């Protein structure tokens, strides 16, 4: 009855090894600079992220 759940669990366990640990724009080349630029364009502060 629950065989599909076992298959689904195995599928997600296989995907887990491919998952990245860094999320968002910061994982891209120059992502930190882009994030800082977006902060400066979309806020009125000059704080760093």
Tell me what pLDDT residue 12 has: 93
pTM over cut 0.75? no
In the block, tokens 């998952």 appear at: 19
Q: Which pair of tokens denotes residue 1?
A: 């009855």
Rounded CA separation 19/30 (Å): 21
Q: 2-27: per-residue pLDDT in tens?
A: 888 999 999 999 998 888 777 788 78
Buried b (16+ CB within 10 A) or exposed e, 16-42: eeeeeeeeeeeeeeeeeeebeeeeeee
Which of these, 28, 12, 19, lies nearest to 38 by C-alpha position? Answer: 28
């Amino acid at each position: 009855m629950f065989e599909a759940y076992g298959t689904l669990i195995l599928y997600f366990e296989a995907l887990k090894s491919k998952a990245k640990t860094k999320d968002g724009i910061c994982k891209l080349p120059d992502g930190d600079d882009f994030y800082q630029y977006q902060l400066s364009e979309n806020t009125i502060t000059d704080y760093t992220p």
